[in-house]
Amino acid sequence: MDNLRYAAKRLEPEGVVVLIEAISSHAKPNYFLPDPAKAERIVHRVAHPNVRLMFDIYHAQFAGGNLTQRIRDWAPIISHVQIAQVCTM
Protein backbone atom coordinates (compact mmCIF):
# COMPACT_ATOMS: atom_id res chain seq x y z
CA MET A 1 0.00 0.00 0.00
CA ASP A 2 2.77 2.39 0.91
CA ASN A 3 4.55 1.76 -2.39
CA LEU A 4 1.37 2.40 -4.35
CA ARG A 5 0.75 5.64 -2.47
CA TYR A 6 4.34 6.71 -3.06
CA ALA A 7 4.18 5.90 -6.78
CA ALA A 8 0.84 7.67 -7.18
CA LYS A 9 2.10 10.81 -5.47
CA ARG A 10 5.31 10.88 -7.53
CA LEU A 11 3.62 10.16 -10.87
CA GLU A 12 0.56 12.38 -10.52
CA PRO A 13 2.38 15.61 -11.50
CA GLU A 14 3.48 13.85 -14.70
CA GLY A 15 -0.10 12.87 -15.56
CA VAL A 16 0.63 9.16 -15.13
CA VAL A 17 -2.08 7.00 -13.57
CA VAL A 18 -1.07 3.94 -11.55
CA LEU A 19 -3.11 0.91 -12.64
CA ILE A 20 -3.37 -2.39 -10.85
CA GLU A 21 -4.66 -5.52 -12.55
CA ALA A 22 -5.83 -8.83 -11.21
CA ILE A 23 -4.69 -11.78 -13.33
CA SER A 24 -6.59 -15.01 -12.79
CA SER A 25 -4.78 -18.03 -11.44
CA HIS A 26 -6.28 -19.89 -14.42
CA ALA A 27 -3.99 -17.90 -16.71
CA LYS A 28 -1.04 -17.33 -14.40
CA PRO A 29 -0.77 -19.66 -11.41
CA ASN A 30 0.83 -18.11 -8.32
CA TYR A 31 0.29 -14.51 -9.48
CA PHE A 32 0.14 -12.39 -6.33
CA LEU A 33 -3.16 -10.69 -7.23
CA PRO A 34 -5.57 -13.19 -8.83
CA ASP A 35 -8.83 -11.68 -7.53
CA PRO A 36 -10.33 -8.49 -9.02
CA ALA A 37 -12.34 -7.97 -5.82
CA LYS A 38 -9.06 -7.80 -3.90
CA ALA A 39 -7.67 -5.34 -6.45
CA GLU A 40 -10.78 -3.21 -5.95
CA ARG A 41 -10.26 -3.25 -2.18
CA ILE A 42 -6.62 -2.25 -2.64
CA VAL A 43 -7.59 0.74 -4.77
CA HIS A 44 -10.02 1.87 -2.06
CA ARG A 45 -7.49 1.29 0.76
CA VAL A 46 -4.77 3.23 -1.03
CA ALA A 47 -7.32 6.04 -1.35
CA HIS A 48 -5.39 8.10 -3.88
CA PRO A 49 -7.26 9.40 -6.94
CA ASN A 50 -4.29 8.49 -9.11
CA VAL A 51 -4.48 4.74 -8.29
CA ARG A 52 -7.06 3.01 -10.44
CA LEU A 53 -8.18 -0.40 -11.62
CA MET A 54 -7.41 -2.03 -14.94
CA PHE A 55 -10.43 -4.25 -15.47
CA ASP A 56 -9.61 -7.24 -17.64
CA ILE A 57 -12.80 -9.01 -18.66
CA TYR A 58 -11.04 -12.29 -19.43
CA HIS A 59 -9.43 -12.55 -16.01
CA ALA A 60 -12.47 -11.23 -14.14
CA GLN A 61 -14.67 -13.90 -15.72
CA PHE A 62 -12.38 -16.67 -14.55
CA ALA A 63 -12.18 -15.10 -11.09
CA GLY A 64 -15.89 -15.21 -10.37
CA GLY A 65 -17.72 -13.67 -13.29
CA ASN A 66 -20.62 -11.29 -12.62
CA LEU A 67 -18.98 -8.90 -15.08
CA THR A 68 -21.90 -6.54 -15.65
CA GLN A 69 -22.42 -5.90 -11.95
CA ARG A 70 -18.71 -5.52 -11.27
CA ILE A 71 -18.35 -2.97 -14.06
CA ARG A 72 -21.34 -1.04 -12.72
CA ASP A 73 -20.04 -1.10 -9.15
CA TRP A 74 -16.42 -0.36 -9.97
CA ALA A 75 -16.89 2.16 -12.80
CA PRO A 76 -15.70 5.05 -10.60
CA ILE A 77 -12.29 3.40 -10.10
CA ILE A 78 -11.81 1.72 -13.51
CA SER A 79 -9.47 3.59 -15.84
CA HIS A 80 -8.88 0.92 -18.45
CA VAL A 81 -10.93 -2.03 -19.69
CA GLN A 82 -9.27 -4.86 -21.55
CA ILE A 83 -11.53 -7.14 -23.54
CA ALA A 84 -10.69 -10.66 -24.61
CA GLN A 85 -12.97 -13.59 -25.37
CA VAL A 86 -13.38 -16.18 -22.67
CA CYS A 87 -13.54 -19.60 -24.32
CA THR A 88 -14.73 -22.51 -22.25
CA MET A 89 -14.04 -25.28 -24.75
User: The domain containing residue 50 runs over which residues?
Assistant: 2-82
Give a yes or no: residue 88 inside a domain: no
**Is 51 inside a domain boundary?**
yes
Give pLDDT, residue 84. 80
Q: Is residue 22 part of a domain?
A: yes
> Has residue 89 been placed in a domain?
no
What is the residue-level pLDDT of the chain in tens, covering all 89 positions?
Answer: 999 999 999 999 999 999 999 998 888 889 899 999 999 999 999 999 999 999 999 888 888 888 999 999 999 999 999 988 766 65
Q: Which pLDDT score is estimated for 45? A: 96
Q: Total structural domains in the chain?
A: 1
| pLDDT number for residue 16 | 95
Q: Would residue 87 count as lying in a domain?
A: no
Whether 63 is covered by a domain: the verdict is yes
Q: Are 60 and 22 in contact (CB under 8 A)?
A: yes
